[in-house]
Amino acid sequence: MEAVLDYWLRFGINLGIICLLILGLYWRREPNRNYAFGMIVSGTLVYVVISAMMQVEIGLGVGFGIFAIFSLLRFRTVPISLRDMTYLFATISLSLVNAMLMFFGDWAELVAVNLALLATLFALEYSQVVRYRSSLSLDYDNMDLLHPDRRPDLLADIRKRTGITPVRVAIRRINIKRGSARLRIWYFEAGGQT
């Protein structure tokens, strides 16, 4: 009975850390339920498989093979952003490390590794150094400002009319008959803007 309680305690610690990582940090910028669900489940599965393998003493190479399969299996064909992939990899890696460190009973190293990763991601998410650039399409009606020499005026007009501060603008399509153009605008999200 003590072994079962010990397993559930370790499982709960890993799940809590994963939830803190995904729901506390990842969810802040892009709340995507499907990705968050997939990341939490992937991390949990990796922890369960690795902790079971550690008890049966299967080689570490097999463990990393399973780790690679989990990484590529679902997200290989789905277009996933670099940020989402980073959080998925962090979740899987953290679960792998947690399972191994918990098995060997090195709790100080476990706490240090988890705090280091969470602190690094927290610092990057909340810092002004790393800002998230987003883009959108915009139908624009002031054809006079599309001339390359008038780029500063174009950026100022977009900011005035939309409240968005563009950092880059590209003309995608011009409709001379209607007197409009389709623009692609890149800007920094409000959470990362200085």
What b/e sequence results for 14-48 when a residue is b if at least 16 CB atoms lie within 10 Å of its CB, and e otherwise?
A: bbebbbebbeebbbeeeeeeebbebbbebbbebbe
Instruction: Report the pLDDT value the prediction gives residue 192, as an integer from 0 to 100.
Output: 43
Our CA angle for 51, 66, 120, nearest 5°, is 75
What b/e sequence results for 60-99 when a residue is b if at least 16 CB atoms lie within 10 Å of its CB, and e otherwise?
A: eeebeebbeebbeeebeeeebeeebeebbebbbbbbbbbb
Q: pLDDT digits over 15-65, tens only?
A: 999 999 998 888 877 677 888 888 899 889 888 888 877 766 666 666 666
User: Is the overall model pTM greater than 0.85, yes or no?
Assistant: no
Instruction: Report the pLDDT value the prediction gives residue 152, as an integer from 0 to 100.
Output: 92
- Residue 129 to residues 182, 188, 192, Cα–Cα distance (Å): 31, 12, 8
Residues of the chain predicted below pLDDT 50? 191-194
- CB atoms inside a 10 Å sphere around CB 101: 19
Q: Report yes or no: 193 and 164 within 8 Å, Cβ to Cβ.
A: no
Residue 149: strand, helix, or coil: helix
- CB atoms inside a 10 Å sphere around CB 151: 12
Ordered by where they begin, the domains of the chain are 2-126 (no CATH), 133-192 (3.30.70)
Q: How far apart are CA 112 and CA 119, in angstroms?
A: 10
